[in-house]
């Protein structure tokens, strides 16, 4: 059975790779880009990623004393805001599978004086190392598309949510505007790798990121996957013409 699983394949962007190899391939991407991640996010989105994240924060309903899990939290943009909202009586766990991203995030938050109520955990979203019913809110921003088994990850997130807790998935998605799609494709596959090469010294990683967006489930599919994971009241909100969508679901 184990040998059979080794022959399973999945997609790494547009490339088919062995399932067991994808985690390492994705890790290599983020080891490569970690140091320039924040700068590239600002350049790639024209700063709009800050608006997408602000909307996520505003709709989270996070209050003083809450316990928050920020999965694929990377360089800590959401964690920093959540830390202020939950206050000294709350806690925010910044989790990322990639130790390079986690180190950049930890250093950035320490530099900004964000300490005390933040914990850093290296963790795989598919098998989160937390007890059942732990968190009031879980966010995963621009991370789900890099997860090999998305269904397993969603089930894992649902497991560690408290009853009544909210999962929020902020991710690149699909636009149904043909003109916008054409412009976005040109930008993603022509401009983006060049920017990656000039700024981060790595065109291939940004080419993978563009491809991974195209391979990610569309809005309705992801909504169904969240429902299948046991969440209720699942819905999504398109932003920037559907280039990004914010999915939410509640643990019954």
Residue 19 is part of a domain; what is its CATH number? 3.40.50.150
75-127 pLDDT, tens digit each: 899 999 999 999 999 999 999 999 988 998 999 999 999 989 999 999 999 99
Is 42 a domain residue? yes
Is 234 a domain residue? yes
- Mean pLDDT, the chain, rounded, equals 89
125 annotated as ligand-binding? yes
- What is the total count of domains within the chain? 1
Is 195 a domain residue? no
146-165 pLDDT, tens digit each: 999 999 999 999 999 999 99
| Beta-carbon count within 10 A of 125 CB | 24
Instruction: State how far the Cα of 5 lies from the Cα of 177, in Å rounded to an integer.
Output: 39
pLDDT, mean of residues 205-224:
90
Q: Is 62 left (phi over 0), alpha (psi -120 to 50) or beta?
A: beta
96 annotated as ligand-binding? yes
Is 156 a domain residue? yes
Is 245 a domain residue? yes
Is 103 a domain residue? yes
Residue 34 has pLDDT above 70, yes or no: no
Closest by CA position to 213, among listed 136, 134, 146? 146
Is 67 a domain residue? yes
Residue 2 has pLDDT above 60, yes or no: no
Is 128 a domain residue? yes
Residue 13 has pLDDT above 70, yes or no: no
Q: Which residues pair with 172 in a beta bridge?
A: 244
134 annotated as ligand-binding? no
* Residue scoring higher pLDDT (68 or 14): 68
Burial of 239 (0-12, 13-18, 19+ CB in 10 A): middle
42 annotated as ligand-binding? no
pLDDT, mean of residues 162-181:
95
pLDDT value at residue 3: 40
Residue 19 binned pLDDT confidence (cut-offs 50, 70, 90): confident
Residue 72 has pLDDT above 90, yes or no: yes
Query: Domain range for residue 171?
Result: 7-175+209-250
Percent over 90 (pLDDT), the chain: 66
């Amino acid at each position: 059975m184990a040998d059979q699983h080794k022959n399973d394949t999945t997609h790494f962007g547009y490339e088919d790779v062995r399932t067991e190899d994808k985690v390492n391939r994705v890790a290599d991407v983020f080891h490569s880009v970690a140091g320039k991640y924040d700068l590239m996010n600002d350049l790639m989105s024209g700063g709009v990623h800050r608006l997408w994240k602000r909307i996520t924060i505003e709709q989270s309903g996070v209050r003083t004393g809450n316990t928050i899990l920020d999965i694929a939290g990377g360089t800590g943009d959401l964690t920093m805001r959540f830390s202020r909202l939950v206050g000294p009586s709350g806690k925010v766990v910044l989790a990322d599978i990639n130790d390079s991203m986690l180190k950049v995030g930890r250093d950035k938050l320490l530099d900004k004086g964000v300490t005390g109520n933040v914990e850093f955990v290296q963790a795989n979203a598919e098998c989160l190392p937390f007890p059942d019913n732990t968190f009031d809110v879980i966010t995963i921003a621009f991370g789900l598309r890099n997860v090999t088994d998305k269904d397993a990850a969603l089930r894992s997130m649902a497991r560690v949510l408290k009853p009544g807790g909210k999962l929020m998935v902020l991710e690149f998605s699909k636009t149904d505007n043909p003109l916008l799609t054409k412009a976005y494709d040109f930008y993603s596959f022509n401009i983006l790798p060049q920017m990656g090469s000039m700024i981060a010294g790595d065109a291939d990683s940004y080419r993978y990121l563009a491809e991974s967006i195209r391979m990610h489930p569309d809005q309705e599919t992801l909504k169904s996957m969240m429902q299948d994971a046991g969440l209720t009241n699942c819905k999504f909100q398109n932003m920037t013409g559907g280039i990004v969508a914010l999915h939410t679901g509640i643990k019954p």
